[in-house]
Structure formats: C-alpha cells, structure tokens
Chain A
Amino acid sequence: MPEPHGALAQQFEDLEQQHESATLGMWLFLITEIMFFGGLFAAYAVYRSTHPEAWHNGSRHLDVVMGGINTAVLISSSLTMALAVRAAQLSKKTALLANLALTIAFGAVFLGIKAIEYHHKLEAGLVPGRFFTYVGPDLDHLQLFFLFYFIMTGMHAFHMVVGLVVLAVLVVMTLKGRLLGDFYKPVELTGLYWHFVDVVWIFLFPLLYLIGRHG
C-alpha cells in the first residue's frame, strides 16, 4: 500500500495515475473544443473558397498592428501561464501568484484591445446586421466575412473571459495556501485550456488579418 497522502483521492492507485486521469479528462474536453472551433474554421474555409475577393477585401479592413500586438500579448500570457504551472509544481507561492496575476493582466489587455477594434468596426459600419452602413463593392459577401470575423473572434474572446474567471479562482485558492506541490494539478489543467485558446488565436490571426495583405 502506498503511503496515505493528502493530495491523493481514494479511487486512484497513486498520484501519477491521478494526475494522468486529470490530464486525459482535460484533453477529452479540449477535443470537443477542437471540433467546435474546427466547424467554424471549416465554414470559414468553404466561404473563402467561394468568395475569395470578399475575403481579401474584408481582411484589409482589419487592423494588422492591433492584431499583431494582441498576438504578442497572448503569447506572453501563455509564457506566464507556463511559468505559473512550474511555480506551482515547485511550491513557489509568490512566483505562482505573480505569474497568475500577469496572465490575468495580459488576458485583460488582449480583451481591451479587442474591444477597441470592435468599436472601430462599429464606427466604420462594418458590424453585420442593421449597423452595417459601409458603402463599397460586393457588400453582401463583405458582410459575410465580418459575420465570420465577429463570431470567430467573439467565441475566442468568450473563451478568454471564462479563462480569466478560472484564473481568478486559482488566485484565491493560492492565497488560501492550496495548489502547491502535489496539489498543482488545477493550475496545469487551466494552463492546458489557456494554451488551447492561444492556439485558436494563432490560426485566427493569419486567417483573418493577414490573408488580404498582399496584392
């Protein structure tokens, strides 16, 4: 029999098995997320293939500087998230708190820049529906591009808001002295989710902001 351990739930043989089960459970959830965003990417690709001109023109309306800065901000948040996992594993409470706080800060900056971009699109009359007052060629399909832009970045932003709430819970748990050493797993699972959201953006950025830059 293994030694009784505070972090070990009774249904598991040892901590290694418990941690592996948690990781696999999280990946199972992430697979459903891959399919969710995958459907959006597939629909995006189909309409891009039938209306390449509209996609090219739509992409040129997006602010590549803001999108680029946001990509860097999100990558930075992934770094601090990975450092938070490391700090939790090594029972470094101050480093864990600092990195969780930094991750939340980077996430908030990302959403702030996103909000500014959304506002610019609203002012330019590029929000689909009754706010779509933009005047130019092939408006129907330009509107379709912006429908994809708002739904894909909107769902991505929603995932970030969820991530920020979970990160805030982790901060509270850390302040109560939990999540350190053998109890680090919730930090790692949150990290898996946060990095996944980063990966979604890694594809959204070129597909939305960069496809219309050339020519």
Chain B
Amino acid sequence: MSTHVASVRLLLTIFVMLLALTATTVAVAYFDFGRVNIVVALSIAAFKSALVVLYFMHVRYGSRLTWVFAGAGFLWLVLLLVFTFGDYLSRPWESVTAW
C-alpha cells in the first residue's frame, strides 16, 4: 500500500510548534504595533494553518491533484476577499477608517 503514514515524532513536533505559536500570538497581541498587530496575528494564524494542512491533513504527501484541490479552496477564498474589499474600499461614501 502506498499510503503515507506520518511518524509520531513528526506529529508531536507539529503539535509543539502549534502550541508555541499560539503562546506567541497571545503574547504579541499585548504590544501596540498600530496597524501591524493584525498583520502579525494573521501571519501567525496562516503559518499555523499551513502546518495543520500540510502535516495533519497529509497534503504535504498528497498527490498533485490533492494540491490542486486544496489550492483551489485557498484561491477562491482570496478571490472572495479581494473582490469584496475592492468593492468596499472603492466606495468614497463609505468611511473606511482602518483595517
């Protein structure tokens, strides 16, 4: 059988990294970086998600078609957000004061 079996050591490593990143994102949230706070928070969340998707969800070892499917979900999410904000940010009569 060609199924990939993840090693316990790898899964535990990912688990510890996820916990460490959670502690990090909580800690940095108490510092005021202005508009950078949200960027840091979302970057850490994106990195944590990538770890979960690649290793816990086995996409790292998946077929190319699996990559295409997972990537398509991400791509459509980006389209949704970009077009939504392309609309709202280009409305001069709506007061967008911050992200």
Contact = CB atoms under 8 A, between A and B. Distances in A.
Interface of A: 15-16, 19-20, 23-24, 27-28, 30-31, 34-35, 38-39, 41-42, 45-46, 48-50, 52, 64, 68, 71-72, 75-76, 78-79, 81-83, 85-86, 89-90, 182, 184, 188, 191-192, 195-196, 198-199, 202-203, 205-207, 210-211, 213-215
A23 B66 contact: yes
Contacts of A30: 73
A50 B95 contact: yes
Given A68-B22, A195-B57, A20 B63 contact: yes
Contact of B96 (A24, A49, A64, A71): A49
B70 A182 contact: no
Given A24-B65, A72-B19, A206-B41, A34 B73 contact: yes
Q: By DSSP majority rule, is chain B's interface helix, strand, loop, or mixed?
A: helix
Interface residues of B, number: 56
B73 A27 contact: yes
Given A89-B5, A206-B45, A52 B11 contact: no
B29 A15 contact: no
A128 to B, nearest CB: 23
B80 A86 contact: no
A39 B85 CA distance: 12
B2 to A, nearest CB: 5
Contacts of B26: 64, 68, 210
Contacts of B11: 79, 82-83, 86
Contacts of B76: 31, 34-35, 38
A85 B57 CA distance: 10
Q: By DSSP majority rule, is chain A's interface helix, strand, loop, or mixed?
A: helix
A63 B57 CA distance: 30
Contacts of A86: 5-6, 8, 11
Nearest to A67: B26
A188 B66 contact: no
B22 A75 contact: yes
B97 interface: yes
Nearest to A27: B69
Contacts of B37: 211, 214
B21 to A, nearest CB: 9
A109 to B, nearest CB: 16
A192 B29 contact: no
Contacts of B96: 49-50
B73 A31 contact: yes
B2 A203 contact: no
Given A86-B11, A211-B29, 17 more contacts: A24-B65, A24-B69, A27-B69, A28-B69, A42-B84, A45-B81, A45-B84, A46-B84, A50-B97, A52-B98, A68-B22, A78-B18, A82-B55, A199-B53, A202-B48, A210-B26, A214-B31
